[in-house]
Chains A and B, each alone.
Chain A
Amino acid sequence: TQLLEQSPQFLSIQEGENLTVYCNSSSVFSSLQWYRQEPGEGPVLLVTVVTGGEVKKLKRLTFQFGDARKDSSLHITAAQTGDTGLYLCAGEDYSAGGTSYGKLTFGQGTILTVHP
Protein backbone atom coordinates (compact mmCIF):
# COMPACT_ATOMS: atom_id res chain seq x y z
CA THR A 1 0.00 0.00 0.00
CA GLN A 2 1.25 3.47 -0.87
CA LEU A 3 1.72 5.80 2.10
CA LEU A 4 1.07 9.52 2.41
CA GLU A 5 2.50 11.50 5.32
CA GLN A 6 1.05 14.85 6.25
CA SER A 7 2.72 17.51 8.34
CA PRO A 8 2.15 19.13 10.65
CA GLN A 9 -0.45 17.00 12.38
CA PHE A 10 -1.78 19.99 14.35
CA LEU A 11 -1.68 23.69 13.50
CA SER A 12 -3.00 26.46 15.74
CA ILE A 13 -2.71 29.98 14.40
CA GLN A 14 -4.22 33.46 14.68
CA GLU A 15 -6.57 34.90 12.10
CA GLY A 16 -4.63 36.67 9.35
CA GLU A 17 -1.57 34.42 9.49
CA ASN A 18 -0.35 32.31 6.59
CA LEU A 19 0.22 28.56 6.78
CA THR A 20 1.39 25.61 4.71
CA VAL A 21 0.44 21.95 5.03
CA TYR A 22 2.63 19.29 3.42
CA CYS A 23 1.81 15.89 1.99
CA ASN A 24 4.73 13.58 1.15
CA SER A 25 5.23 10.08 -0.18
CA SER A 26 7.99 7.86 -1.50
CA SER A 27 5.56 6.68 -4.20
CA VAL A 28 4.48 8.43 -7.38
CA PHE A 29 0.81 9.33 -7.59
CA SER A 30 -0.99 9.89 -10.87
CA SER A 31 -3.27 12.38 -9.13
CA LEU A 32 -3.65 13.86 -5.70
CA GLN A 33 -6.65 15.38 -4.00
CA TRP A 34 -7.13 17.70 -1.05
CA TYR A 35 -10.22 17.42 1.13
CA ARG A 36 -11.56 19.48 4.02
CA GLN A 37 -13.61 17.84 6.75
CA GLU A 38 -15.64 19.56 9.46
CA PRO A 39 -16.63 17.84 12.72
CA GLY A 40 -19.50 15.40 12.28
CA GLU A 41 -19.39 15.56 8.48
CA GLY A 42 -17.78 13.71 5.61
CA PRO A 43 -14.79 15.08 3.69
CA VAL A 44 -15.47 17.55 0.89
CA LEU A 45 -13.16 17.81 -2.11
CA LEU A 46 -11.24 21.08 -2.46
CA VAL A 47 -9.05 20.35 -5.47
CA THR A 48 -7.50 17.64 -7.64
CA VAL A 49 -4.00 18.02 -9.11
CA VAL A 50 -2.89 15.67 -11.87
CA THR A 51 0.21 17.19 -13.54
CA GLY A 52 3.67 17.36 -11.99
CA GLY A 53 4.50 20.97 -11.08
CA GLU A 54 0.85 22.00 -11.29
CA VAL A 55 -0.32 24.94 -9.18
CA LYS A 56 -4.01 25.56 -8.54
CA LYS A 57 -5.54 28.49 -6.68
CA LEU A 58 -8.89 28.52 -4.94
CA LYS A 59 -9.41 32.01 -3.49
CA ARG A 60 -6.91 32.17 -0.58
CA LEU A 61 -5.85 28.54 -0.97
CA THR A 62 -2.93 27.54 -3.22
CA PHE A 63 -2.26 23.90 -4.03
CA GLN A 64 0.95 22.61 -5.57
CA PHE A 65 1.83 19.17 -6.94
CA GLY A 66 5.52 18.31 -6.89
CA ASP A 67 7.42 17.90 -10.14
CA ALA A 68 7.99 14.21 -9.39
CA ARG A 69 4.35 13.75 -8.31
CA LYS A 70 5.43 12.42 -4.91
CA ASP A 71 4.48 15.43 -2.82
CA SER A 72 1.99 18.25 -2.56
CA SER A 73 1.38 21.32 -0.45
CA LEU A 74 -1.57 23.45 0.57
CA HIS A 75 -0.88 27.09 1.39
CA ILE A 76 -3.52 29.32 2.99
CA THR A 77 -3.03 33.07 2.89
CA ALA A 78 -4.54 35.27 5.61
CA ALA A 79 -6.32 32.44 7.41
CA GLN A 80 -9.86 33.01 8.65
CA THR A 81 -11.77 31.30 11.48
CA GLY A 82 -13.90 29.63 8.81
CA ASP A 83 -10.80 27.76 7.59
CA THR A 84 -10.79 25.71 10.81
CA GLY A 85 -11.11 22.01 10.09
CA LEU A 86 -9.32 18.79 9.20
CA TYR A 87 -7.39 18.90 5.92
CA LEU A 88 -6.71 15.59 4.21
CA CYS A 89 -4.59 14.76 1.19
CA ALA A 90 -5.39 11.63 -0.80
CA GLY A 91 -3.60 9.94 -3.66
CA GLU A 92 -4.97 7.60 -6.27
CA ASP A 93 -4.04 4.05 -5.22
CA TYR A 94 -2.52 1.84 -7.89
CA SER A 95 -1.13 -0.62 -5.35
CA ALA A 96 -2.89 -3.54 -7.04
CA GLY A 97 -1.58 -2.51 -10.44
CA GLY A 98 -3.61 -1.53 -13.50
CA THR A 99 -6.73 0.55 -12.94
CA SER A 100 -7.14 2.33 -9.62
CA TYR A 101 -10.97 2.31 -9.74
CA GLY A 102 -10.74 5.61 -7.90
CA LYS A 103 -9.35 3.97 -4.77
CA LEU A 104 -7.70 6.56 -2.55
CA THR A 105 -4.89 6.42 0.00
CA PHE A 106 -5.35 9.13 2.60
CA GLY A 107 -2.82 10.95 4.73
CA GLN A 108 -3.52 11.10 8.47
CA GLY A 109 -4.73 14.68 8.22
CA THR A 110 -3.83 18.12 9.58
CA ILE A 111 -6.12 19.63 12.20
CA LEU A 112 -6.14 23.40 11.66
CA THR A 113 -7.50 25.77 14.29
CA VAL A 114 -7.70 29.45 13.45
CA HIS A 115 -8.26 31.70 16.46
CA PRO A 116 -10.02 35.09 16.16
Chain B
Amino acid sequence: NAGVTQTPKFRILKIGQSMTLQCAQDMNHNYMYWYRQDPGMGLKLIYYSVGAGITDKGEVPNGYNVSRSTTEDFPLRLELAAPSQTSVYFCASSYGTSGWETQYFGPGTRLLVL
Protein backbone atom coordinates (compact mmCIF):
# COMPACT_ATOMS: atom_id res chain seq x y z
CA ASN B 1 0.00 0.00 0.00
CA ALA B 2 1.21 3.48 -0.87
CA GLY B 3 -1.03 4.96 1.87
CA VAL B 4 -1.86 8.63 1.33
CA THR B 5 -0.07 10.31 -1.55
CA GLN B 6 0.02 14.01 -2.36
CA THR B 7 1.18 15.93 -5.40
CA PRO B 8 2.94 18.22 -5.99
CA LYS B 9 5.48 18.27 -3.14
CA PHE B 10 6.25 21.95 -3.64
CA ARG B 11 4.77 24.74 -5.70
CA ILE B 12 5.25 28.47 -6.13
CA LEU B 13 2.19 30.43 -7.25
CA LYS B 14 1.75 34.04 -8.19
CA ILE B 15 -1.04 36.03 -6.56
CA GLY B 16 -4.30 35.41 -8.38
CA GLN B 17 -3.28 32.09 -9.93
CA SER B 18 -5.24 28.91 -9.30
CA MET B 19 -4.12 25.34 -8.72
CA THR B 20 -5.32 21.93 -7.57
CA LEU B 21 -3.58 19.95 -4.86
CA GLN B 22 -4.00 16.25 -5.46
CA CYS B 23 -4.60 13.65 -2.75
CA ALA B 24 -5.16 9.93 -3.17
CA GLN B 25 -5.42 7.00 -0.77
CA ASP B 26 -5.39 3.28 -1.50
CA MET B 27 -6.68 2.04 1.87
CA ASN B 28 -10.39 2.17 0.95
CA HIS B 29 -10.97 4.77 3.67
CA ASN B 30 -14.32 6.51 3.81
CA TYR B 31 -13.23 9.69 5.56
CA MET B 32 -10.75 12.15 4.06
CA TYR B 33 -9.50 15.53 5.31
CA TRP B 34 -7.52 18.55 4.20
CA TYR B 35 -5.49 20.51 6.76
CA ARG B 36 -3.13 23.44 6.51
CA GLN B 37 -0.17 23.99 8.82
CA ASP B 38 1.37 27.43 9.17
CA PRO B 39 4.90 27.83 10.60
CA GLY B 40 5.02 27.14 14.34
CA MET B 41 1.35 26.24 14.42
CA GLY B 42 -0.77 23.15 14.63
CA LEU B 43 -3.01 21.94 11.84
CA LYS B 44 -6.30 23.58 10.93
CA LEU B 45 -9.06 21.70 9.10
CA ILE B 46 -10.03 23.16 5.72
CA TYR B 47 -12.55 20.64 4.35
CA TYR B 48 -13.50 17.05 4.99
CA SER B 49 -15.45 14.28 3.27
CA VAL B 50 -17.26 11.27 4.70
CA GLY B 51 -17.66 9.51 1.37
CA ALA B 52 -17.83 9.96 -2.38
CA GLY B 53 -20.06 12.91 -3.22
CA ILE B 54 -20.22 14.20 0.38
CA THR B 55 -18.06 17.11 1.53
CA ASP B 56 -18.31 19.76 4.24
CA LYS B 57 -16.44 22.80 5.49
CA GLY B 58 -13.95 22.73 8.31
CA GLU B 59 -12.57 25.60 10.37
CA VAL B 60 -10.84 27.58 7.56
CA PRO B 61 -12.59 26.89 4.20
CA ASN B 62 -12.48 30.39 2.64
CA GLY B 63 -10.53 30.49 -0.62
CA TYR B 64 -10.69 26.73 -1.15
CA ASN B 65 -12.97 24.20 -2.80
CA VAL B 66 -13.07 20.41 -2.80
CA SER B 67 -14.77 17.58 -4.60
CA ARG B 68 -14.91 13.83 -4.01
CA SER B 69 -16.05 11.88 -7.03
CA THR B 70 -14.36 8.62 -5.97
CA THR B 71 -13.44 6.97 -2.66
CA GLU B 72 -9.74 7.25 -3.50
CA ASP B 73 -9.32 10.89 -4.53
CA PHE B 74 -9.93 14.16 -2.69
CA PRO B 75 -8.48 17.15 -4.59
CA LEU B 76 -8.25 20.62 -3.04
CA ARG B 77 -8.72 23.59 -5.35
CA LEU B 78 -7.24 27.03 -4.64
CA GLU B 79 -8.90 29.83 -6.57
CA LEU B 80 -7.23 33.24 -6.83
CA ALA B 81 -4.22 32.44 -4.66
CA ALA B 82 -3.32 34.95 -1.94
CA PRO B 83 -0.14 35.29 0.18
CA SER B 84 -2.20 34.21 3.22
CA GLN B 85 -2.50 30.78 1.59
CA THR B 86 1.23 30.20 1.86
CA SER B 87 1.35 27.10 4.02
CA VAL B 88 1.97 23.38 4.11
CA TYR B 89 -1.11 21.38 3.14
CA PHE B 90 -1.74 17.89 4.48
CA CYS B 91 -4.30 15.38 3.32
CA ALA B 92 -5.39 12.62 5.70
CA SER B 93 -7.76 9.67 5.67
CA SER B 94 -9.38 7.23 8.11
CA TYR B 95 -11.78 4.30 7.94
CA GLY B 96 -14.64 6.32 9.40
CA THR B 97 -16.26 3.76 11.69
CA SER B 98 -15.53 5.72 14.87
CA GLY B 99 -14.55 9.29 15.66
CA TRP B 100 -11.27 8.47 17.34
CA GLU B 101 -9.69 6.34 14.66
CA THR B 102 -6.18 6.79 13.39
CA GLN B 103 -5.84 9.42 10.72
CA TYR B 104 -3.15 8.63 8.17
CA PHE B 105 -1.42 11.68 6.78
CA GLY B 106 0.26 12.27 3.45
CA PRO B 107 3.73 13.87 3.19
CA GLY B 108 2.32 17.33 2.52
CA THR B 109 2.44 19.95 -0.22
CA ARG B 110 4.43 23.12 0.45
CA LEU B 111 2.83 26.11 -1.23
CA LEU B 112 4.40 29.54 -1.57
CA VAL B 113 2.27 32.39 -2.93
CA LEU B 114 4.22 35.43 -4.08
Contacts and interface: CB of A to CB of B under 8 A. Distances in A.
Judge: A and B partners, yes or no.
yes
Interface of A: 1, 4, 6, 9, 30-31, 33, 40-45, 48, 50, 88, 90, 92-93, 99-109, 111
Interface residues of B, number: 28
Given A9-B40, A42-B105, A108-B42, 16 more contacts: A1-B59, A42-B92, A42-B106, A42-B107, A42-B108, A45-B102, A50-B100, A92-B100, A93-B45, A101-B50, A102-B101, A102-B103, A104-B103, A108-B40, A108-B41, A109-B40
B102 A88 contact: no
B42 A103 contact: no
Given A45-B103, A107-B42, A102 B33 contact: yes
Contacts, number: 75
B99 A33 contact: no
A interface: dominant SS: loop
